A and B are shown apart, each in its own frame.
Chain A
Amino acid sequence: EVQLVQSGAEVKKPGESLKISCKGSGYSFTSYWIGWVRQMPGKGLEWMGIIYPGDSDTRYSPSFQGQVTISADKSISTAYLQWSSLKASDTAMYYCVRQGPVLGDAFDIWGQGTMVTVSS
């Protein structure tokens, strides 16, 4: 079964750092893009960025460039989303997604989501 399994919910304080993960299984991890999507409470979907684990080619949404870092470790089929200094406005559900090898392919597999809560 093709699936993406994300790390568990996090509760952090403003200014703290965080790295969440997304492990792919059931397919060739290096042959598909992995992306991240934010959903703030009660709001819509926002694309953050994508990485191609095969060569680590990474693209960011202009809205998130410089705010987060996307990385991947192909040896363990895992992608990451990290923050160096969290803000309360980072409170949201974060989904990782699998995208086909062509930019423009749909997100055919979604992780279960990681809820990040940032509060003092």
Chain B
Amino acid sequence: SYVLTQPPSVSVAPGQTARITCGGNNIGSKSVHWYQQKPGQAPVLVVYDDSDRPSGIPERFSGSNSGNTATLTISRVEAGDEADYYCQVWDSSSDHPHWVFGGGTKLTVL
């Protein structure tokens, strides 16, 4: 079964850049989606298909994907970006294709 590995936590000062990684075997061959979940709220899609942003998501959010690592980058971090972030891929390689989520990364704004 396909596994996505995220660091449990990332800390960054306001105004700096946060990078949240998502590791998986040859993940660069898959499309990666990223979700932000603030406490007590439903998740929100922030990046889809590796690097595209839904309407309404600030340009500060960007994504990349190559080799065995996908990365969500948040530039000029603000206090309001503090949340859990999850990566996701569709694993079509198995007999039973299914969605896989990473374990999530808690972003703390210092």
Contact = CB atoms under 8 A, between A and B. Distances in A.
A62 B100 CA distance: 11
Interface residues of B, number: 26
Contacts of B42: 95, 110-113
Contacts of B54: 108
B28 to A, nearest CB: 15
Contacts of A112: 42
Interface string A37-59: 00000001111000000000001
Interface residues of A, number: 19
A41 to B, nearest CB: 12
Interface in B74-97: 84, 86, 88, 90, 92, 96-97
Contacts of B31: 104
A108 B49 CA distance: 12
A47 B103 CA distance: 12
Contact of A106 (B33, B37, B101, B104): B33
Interface in A12-69: 35, 44-47, 59, 61-62
Nearest to B97: A103
Contacts of A44: 84, 86, 101-104
Interface of B: 1, 31, 33, 35, 37, 42-45, 48-49, 54, 84, 86, 88, 90, 92, 96-104
Given A108-B45, A108-B48, 12 more contacts: A44-B101, A44-B102, A45-B35, A45-B43, A47-B98, A62-B96, A95-B43, A103-B92, A104-B92, A106-B49, A110-B42, A111-B42
Q: Shortest 5 CB-CB distances between A and B: which pairs?
A: A47-B99, A106-B48, A104-B90, A106-B33, A110-B42
